[in-house]
């Protein structure tokens, strides 16, 4: 079946209706992001490996086994970005964006993770990303969440999506809670699943969102973070939730929500749906006050989130509701080689007037008209020997099945009279 080179596993050739959905997600994000005054940035798809290794956490699966890491010809170790945040923080430092802090940034593009592909999960996939860097105000967290909420509404996919919210507290909170969890789970070792025993050593917080029913009892009896929140941490969380309530964004407290990446503090959140099988998370993020410091910069508080474009696109309304991919109102049909030059001249004039057109050259006139009808073209400009001799094109209006003759140099102004956009 297959001829020639194969597409790389976990990558996609996006085309047609799927490409339209994809574009709609990006366009909507771009529109909403402006409403919240986030500025657009473009960043490299690869960075020095240490940018990700130091920020994401050496023990996470992403860093330990999912990165595309390779030496370049100069011997430096580079990595295709597995997420946006680390690269944005690196840029924040190397471009001196501190002087603009707090700064609101938005971007989107491909990210890469060496994972086993399945529904809604790819090796090259695409994310939307929004970050606010340089403020420790809970208002920033609120703004980001309200932005996310509005994005989902404008995409028309907020139905069935719930915002799950949690706090991971500040550093002292997190350390105390973590220690309590470790001793709790150590005491219940015998009740845990094999997976969770591994987590206990590597990333004990992760046991909390285990799907294995065997872990339930130990998880249910585990200490809650609320018992360890410092007054500052709980005041922070209270201001975030209060802000969401004022903005009328509904949310659910999920005390077992933790983040996979090590750099998160305080607010952690996920917009989750049940419509995407195992890949329920559609947009996720939180506050990462320690990350920039970890990269060697000054202490810099920040918040952000990322959303999977493919996952959002999959939730979009089915094809019929979408507008046609390409709207070409006019088509030019030269009949015979002699008509070619005139066809090019006419088509160019149409495009310079600001309208899309295509020149159909293949097949007999009947086939071409059939093709045009199929694609909902409204006007066909036919140019053959008769027309060349008369200096007038046959302009056929496909909808009303009527046609008339118009001199070549008057076609554009006849079809689109000035002032009638």
Per CB under 7 A, contacts with RNA among 356-415 are 362-367, 369-370, 372-376, 382, 384-387, 394, 396-399, 401, 403
Site string for RNA, 104-133 (x = CB under 7 A): ---------x-xxxxxxxx--x-x------
The least distance separating RNA from the CB of residue 231, rounded to whole angstroms, comes to: 29
Q: Which stretch binds RNA (CB under 7 A): 173-181, 245-253, 270-278, 352-360?
A: 270-278
The least distance separating RNA from the CB of residue 314, rounded to whole angstroms, comes to: 9
Where on the phi/psi map is residue 286: left (φ > 0), alpha (ψ -120 to 50), or beta?
A: left
102 cis-preceded (ω within 30 degrees of 0)? yes
Annotated binding residue 70: no
The least distance separating RNA from the CB of residue 336, rounded to whole angstroms, comes to: 7
The secondary element (H helix, E strand) that includes residue 151 is helix 138-154
For RNA, the closer CB: 49 or 203: 203
Annotated binding residue 263: yes
The least distance separating RNA from the CB of residue 267, rounded to whole angstroms, comes to: 14
N residues, the chain? 421
C-alpha span between 90 and 46 (Å, rounded) = 12
- C-alpha gyration radius of the chain: 28
Q: Does 174 bind RNA (CB under 7 A)?
A: no
Sheet (strand 379-383) strand order: 357-359, 330-334, 379-383, 392-397, 402-407
Annotated binding residue 259: yes
Q: Could you give the C-alpha distances from 377 to 144, 380, 399, in angstroms and in order?
A: 43, 8, 9
C-alpha span between 188 and 186 (Å, rounded) = 5
For RNA, the closer CB: 20 or 83: 83
Q: Does 240 bind RNA (CB under 7 A)?
A: no
Q: Does 102 bind RNA (CB under 7 A)?
A: no
- With CB under 7 A, what is the number of residues at the site for RNA? 72
DSSP letter (8 states) at residue 316: S
Annotated binding residue 84: yes
Tokens 């996979």 — which residue? 260
The answer to whether 230 and 169 are in contact (CB under 8 A) is yes
Footprint of RNA on 247-266 (CB under 7 A): 259-261
Q: Angle CA(314)–CA(104)–CA(48) in degrees, nearest 5?
A: 80
For RNA, the closer CB: 61 or 226: 61
The least distance separating RNA from the CB of residue 419, rounded to whole angstroms, comes to: 27
Footprint of RNA on 202-231 (CB under 7 A): 206, 210-212
Annotated binding residue 270: no
Footprint of RNA on 9-28 (CB under 7 A): 9-10
The least distance separating RNA from the CB of residue 343, rounded to whole angstroms, comes to: 12
C-alpha span between 233 and 231 (Å, rounded) = 6
Token pair listed for 184: 């709790």
Among 315, 335, 346, 350, binds RNA (CB under 7 A): 335
Token pair listed for 279: 């890949």
Q: Does 418 bind RNA (CB under 7 A)?
A: no
Footprint of RNA on 293-332 (CB under 7 A): 306-308, 310-311
The answer to whether 165 and 188 are in contact (CB under 8 A) is no
Name beta bridge partners: 77. Answer: 71
DSSP letter (8 states) at residue 287: E
C-alpha span between 150 and 158 (Å, rounded) = 9
Site string for RNA, 336-355 (x = CB under 7 A): x-------------------
- What is the Cβ-side half-sphere exposure of residue 87, based on CA atoms within 13 angstroms? 24
Annotated binding residue 227: no
For RNA, the closer CB: 306 or 347: 306
For RNA, the closer CB: 137 or 378: 378
For RNA, the closer CB: 8 or 37: 8
CB atoms within 10 A of CB 77: 12
The answer to whether 145 and 249 are in contact (CB under 8 A) is yes
Site string for RNA, 133-152 (x = CB under 7 A): --------------------
For RNA, the closer CB: 76 or 159: 159
DSSP letter (8 states) at residue 118: B
For RNA, the closer CB: 238 or 370: 370
* Residue numbers belonging to the annotated binding site for L-histidine: 83-85, 113, 127, 131, 259, 263-264
């Amino acid at each position: 079946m297959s001829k020639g080179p194969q597409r790389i596993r976990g990558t996609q050739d996006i085309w047609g209706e799927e490409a339209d959905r994809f574009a709609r997600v990006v366009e909507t994000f771009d529109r909403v992001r402006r409403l919240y005054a986030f500025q657009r940035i473009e960043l490299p798809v690869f960075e020095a490996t240490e940018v990700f290794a130091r920020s994401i956490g050496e023990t996470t699966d992403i860093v330990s086994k999912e990165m595309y890491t390779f030496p370049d010809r100069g011997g430096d170790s580079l990595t295709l970005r597995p997420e946006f945040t680390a690269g944005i923080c690196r840029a924040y430092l190397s471009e001196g964006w501190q002087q603009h802090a707090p700064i609101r940034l938005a971007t989107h593009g491909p990210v890469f993770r060496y994972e086993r592909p399945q529904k809604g999960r790819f090796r090259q996939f695409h994310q939307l990303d929004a970050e606010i860097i340089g403020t420790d105000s809970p208002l920033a967290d609120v703004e980001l969440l309200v932005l996310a909420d509005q994005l989902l509404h404008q995409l028309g996919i907020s139905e069935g999506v719930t915002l799950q919210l949690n706090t991971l507290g500040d550093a002292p909170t997190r350390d105390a809670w973590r220690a309590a969890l470790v001793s709790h789970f150590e005491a219940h070792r015998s009740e845990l699943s094999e997976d969770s025993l591994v987590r206990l050593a590597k990333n004990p917080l992760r046991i909390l969102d285990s799907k294995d029913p065997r872990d339930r009892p130990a998880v249910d009896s585990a200490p809650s973070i609320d018992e360890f929140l410092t007054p500052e941490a709980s005041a922070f969380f209270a201001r975030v939730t209060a802000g969401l309530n004022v903005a009328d964004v509904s949310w659910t407290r999920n005390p077992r929500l933790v983040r996979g990446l090590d750099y998160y503090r305080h607010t952690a959140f996920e917009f989750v749906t049940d419509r995407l099988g195992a890949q329920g998370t559609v947009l996720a993020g939180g506050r990462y006050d320690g990350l920039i410091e970890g990269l060697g910069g000054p202490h810099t508080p920040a918040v952000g989130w990322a959303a999977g474009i493919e996952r959002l696109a999959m939730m979009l309304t089915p094809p019929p509701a979408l507008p046609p991919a390409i709207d070409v109102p006019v088509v030019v049909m030269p009949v015979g080689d002699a008509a070619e030059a005139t066809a090019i001249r006419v088509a160019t004039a149409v495009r310079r007037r600001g309208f899309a057109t295509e020149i159909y050259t293949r097949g007999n006139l009947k086939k071409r008209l059939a093709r045009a009808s199929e694609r909902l073209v409204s006007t066909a400009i036919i140019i053959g020997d008769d027309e060349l001799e008369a200096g007038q094109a046959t302009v056929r209006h496909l909808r009303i099945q009527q046609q008339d003759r118009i001199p070549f140099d008057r076609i554009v102004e006849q079809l689109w009279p000035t002032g009638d956009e």
